[in-house]
Amino acid sequence: MQFGYTTPKFMSAWTNRFEQKHRAWVVALALFIVIAVGLVDFGSGWEYSFSVFYLLALGLAAWFVGFRFALFISALSVAVSLAGDLANGRRYSSPLVPLWNAFIAMAFYLVVIALLVKLRSIHGHLEARVKERTLALTQEMAERERIERELLEISEREQRRIGRDLHDSLGQHLTGVALAGQVLEEKLAARDLPEARDASHMVELVQEGISISRKMAKGLHPIDIEADGLMQGLEEFAAISSDLFRVSCRFECDSPVLIRDTVTSGHLYRITQEAVSNAVKHGRAKNIIIQLEMLDDGIALRVKDDGIGLRDPAERNGGMGLRIMAHRASMISGTFDARRSPEGGTIISCEVPHLQPSAKATK
């Protein structure tokens, strides 16, 4: 979006071509117009005035050539008009009359020249300002996109680091606690103490914590390098979401979708995560379907739910989650759409063109 006054592109290009390459043609055209109007003026007799038609040559001279040449065209126009009247036998009561008429015509032409030169200056100034504003806006948008891209990359790196820490540090620590609990349970059971049952329950809770931490780690660092990593990641995510959110979440993919670009896979996975999270938290959905499909010209990802749907059309652009998903889609040259399903619920879709090598295998 551009702000402020803008000059039509075709007019600006036409003007620049005349200024840079065809100035000599403009000079010749202006002289030709003066001569042509002068001949018509002479042929029609002195009763009819054609002074206004000289303004065409005057306008070309003032706009495309400059003030001095426009002044010359003005003087030439006045001289040609006056010479035509005298050649047609026009007589004046005083020699001062034709001089006065020439002075008035010249003064009128000078006013027109001054206005055209001023308008041309304003036009050039506005054009320069528009170019400066456009360049500044383009640079600002590029810088904003760069910052947003870096923020997303930093967020991805941090999530992966946290996922590794959960798996390697917390997971190992909880595993050690579970082993210690099992040893304690065995000792208490050997002494036939009732606390052995409590120790067993404690071990079960720790093992459940280990399972949760592994699922969280997998969600933070989900995509493998292999081409089928997105399919595996979405399938595991659907299973994890079903357990964590106590909903029915399933993954559907009729034929393998192979993506060799981990950046694209990562963004599609994060879009799915955000869509499922919104469906559970805001849409109160109980059934969620994640669909991945290979199209003739790209890849389609859809997340459908049976929740309350988008209550207000403004929510399509107003929610932070929707804006993040749309931005992720734009970063991989994809199209994003969020709409209310006719059957109820919400449909989140993202289509990505074939920007990198991919393949579709059939069963």
Q: Is the pLDDT of residue 126 over 80?
A: yes
Residue 258's domain comprises 226-360
What is the arithmetic mean of pLDDT over 98-112? 88
**Residue 161 falls within a domain, yes or no?**
no
In this prediction, residue 21 has a pLDDT band, given cuts at 50, 70 and 90, of: low
Q: Which of 66-80, 125-139, 174-188, 231-245 shows the lowest mean pLDDT across its residues?
A: 174-188
Q: Is the pLDDT of residue 117 over 80?
A: yes
Q: Which of 59-73, 119-133, 177-191, 276-290 shows the lowest mean pLDDT across its residues?
A: 177-191
**42 burial type by CB count under 10 A (0-12 exposed, 13-18 middle, 19+ buried):** middle
* Per-residue model confidence (pLDDT) at position 291: 95
Q: Whole-prediction pTM value?
A: 0.51
* Per-residue model confidence (pLDDT) at position 324: 85
Query: Is residue 299 within a helix (H) or strand (E), and if so which, with residue range?
Result: strand 298-305
Give the burial string for 82-117 (b: 16+ CB within 10 Å, else e): bebbeeeeeeeeeeeeeeebeeebbebbeebbeebe
Residue 341 maps to which CATH number? 3.30.565.10
**Residue 65 falls within a domain, yes or no?**
yes
**Residue 174 falls within a domain, yes or no?**
no
**Residue 186 falls within a domain, yes or no?**
no
More confident call, 167 vs 29: 29
Question: Are residues 137 and 257 both part of a single domain?
Answer: no
Q: Is the pLDDT of residue 7 over 60?
A: no
| 8 A C-beta contact, residue 112 and residue 58 | yes
Among 127, 143, 159, identify where a domain stops: 143
Question: Are residues 237 and 134 both part of a single domain?
Answer: no
Write the Ramachandran bin of 361: left for phi over 0, alpha for psi from -120 to 50, otherwise beta. Answer: beta
* Per-residue model confidence (pLDDT) at position 82: 84
Token pair belonging to 349: 């879709």
| 8 A C-beta contact, residue 219 and residue 266 | no
* Per-residue model confidence (pLDDT) at position 279: 92
* Per-residue model confidence (pLDDT) at position 362: 36
Question: Are residues 27 and 134 both part of a single domain?
Answer: yes
| Residue whose tokens read 């399919």 | 231
Length of the chain (residues): 363
Query: For the chain, what is the domain count?
Result: 2
Among 121, 143, 165, identify where a domain stops: 143
Question: Are residues 138 and 231 both part of a single domain?
Answer: no
* Per-residue model confidence (pLDDT) at position 250: 94
Cα dihedral value 361, 228, 334, 138, nearest 10: -130
**Residue 137 falls within a domain, yes or no?**
yes
In this prediction, residue 5 has a pLDDT band, given cuts at 50, 70 and 90, of: very low
| Residue whose tokens read 């969280």 | 216
Question: Are residues 235 and 138 both part of a single domain?
Answer: no
* Per-residue model confidence (pLDDT) at position 141: 85
* Per-residue model confidence (pLDDT) at position 251: 95
Among 107, 125, 143, identify where a domain stops: 143
For the chain, give the percent of residues with pLDDT over 70.
83
**Residue 171 falls within a domain, yes or no?**
no
**Residue 35 falls within a domain, yes or no?**
yes
